[in-house]
């Protein structure tokens, strides 16, 4: 826990200063989780604010301060899920729809300003994002929390409020789908280029 229970209780009682302290303590962690969940740096802060906004208006429903962190994770997961669903609705691949980071990468790559490590990291992000696109938004979030964020099954159980076996089954299936996409990607890393070459 990054904050003590007393602070949470004060925030529950309507103390805005206590709530601000909670936000300051958790915002970096939440920003990191959201950055990995949604993979669009320009919207990360907006989604994080949505998480804390939901926290502010639902804090009084929290029965015990001990479950605060899983509760906050659940709000994060829900906000990320809502964002990904909205994004899916407008999936047209236009230049204006590219993330700022992608545009910056494209510009910088064109100017030869990106060093090798940045290029490698950009490729990793692109590959994992495309692999996670092969599963549903719900599975994407679950896999990210487990495999990237490193949450244990016990922690996920508290976040999702489902039993461990159900989580294991869901994780296994999601992982199998990602593995299938990964295998296909390894055999043919650039299907669009290959298609162009055939033409």
Partner 1 sequence: MSSLNSHPDESALDLLFRAYRDACPAPEPSPQFMPRLWQRIEARQRYSSFFGRVARRFVTAGVALSLGMALYLAVPTSYSSLFTSESYVEALAGGRAADALDLELLHSDPFPVD
From CA 139, how far away is CA 167, in angstroms rounded?
10
Give the Cα-Cα-Cα angle 128, 165, 171 (nearest 5 degrees): 10
Nearer to partner 1, 66 or 189 (CB): 189
Residue 113 φ then ψ, to 5° = -95, -10
Binding-residue total with partner 1 (CB under 8 A)? 41
Nearer to partner 1, 117 or 198 (CB): 117
Nearer to partner 1, 24 or 195 (CB): 24
From CA 118, how far away is CA 105, in angstroms rounded?
9
Please tell me the number of Cα atoms within 13 Å of 184 on its side-chain side: 10
From residue 173 to residue 192, the character string flagging contacts with partner 1 as x (rule: CB under 8 A) and all else as - is --x--xx--xx--x------
- 24 DSSP assignment: H
From CA 47, how far away is CA 41, in angstroms rounded?
10
CB 146 within 8 A of CB 132: no
CB 149 within 8 A of CB 181: no
Q: Is residue 1 at the binding interface for partner 1, with CB under 8 A as the rule?
A: no
Q: Is residue 27 at the binding interface for partner 1, with CB under 8 A as the rule?
A: yes
CB 3 within 8 A of CB 24: no
Of 5-13, 35-43, 63-71, 79-87: span binding partner 1 (CB under 8 A): 35-43
Q: Is residue 5 at the binding interface for partner 1, with CB under 8 A as the rule?
A: no
User: Shortest gap between Cβ of 194 and partner 1 (angstroms)?
Assistant: 20
Pick from 2, 9, 12, 56 the residue near partner 1 by CB under 8 A.
56
From CA 185, how far away is CA 190, in angstroms rounded?
8
Binding to partner 1 in span 102-141, by CB under 8 A = 121-122, 124-125, 127-128, 131
Q: Which residues bind partner 1 (CB under 8 A)?
A: 20, 23-24, 27-29, 31-32, 35-36, 39, 41, 44-45, 48-49, 52-53, 56-57, 121-122, 124-125, 127-128, 131, 147-150, 153, 168, 171-172, 175, 178-179, 182-183, 186
């Amino acid at each position: 826990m990054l904050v003590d229970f007393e602070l949470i209780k004060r925030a529950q009682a309507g103390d805005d200063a206590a709530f601000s302290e909670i936000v300051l303590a958790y915002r970096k962690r939440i920003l990191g989780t959201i950055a990995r969940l949604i993979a669009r740096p320009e919207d990360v802060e907006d989604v994080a604010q949505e998480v804390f906004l939901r926290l502010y208006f639902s804090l009084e429903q929290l029965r015990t301060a001990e479950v605060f962190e899983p509760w906050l994770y659940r709000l994060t997961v829900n906000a990320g899920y809502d964002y990904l669903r909205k994004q899916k609705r407008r999936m047209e691949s236009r230049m204006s729809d590219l993330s700022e980071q992608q545009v910056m990468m494209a510009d910088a790559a064109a100017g030869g300003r990106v060093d090798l490590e940045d290029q490698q990291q950009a490729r990793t992000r692109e590959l994992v994002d495309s692999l996670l696109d092969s599963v549903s938004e719900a599975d994407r979030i679950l896999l990210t929390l487990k495999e990237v964020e490193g949450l244990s099954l016990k922690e996920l159980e508290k976040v999702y409020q489902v039993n461990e076996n159900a989580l294991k089954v869901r994780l296994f299936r999601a992982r199998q789908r990602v593995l299938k996409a990964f295998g296909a990607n390894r055999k043919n890393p650039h299907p669009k280029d290959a298609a162009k070459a055939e033409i």
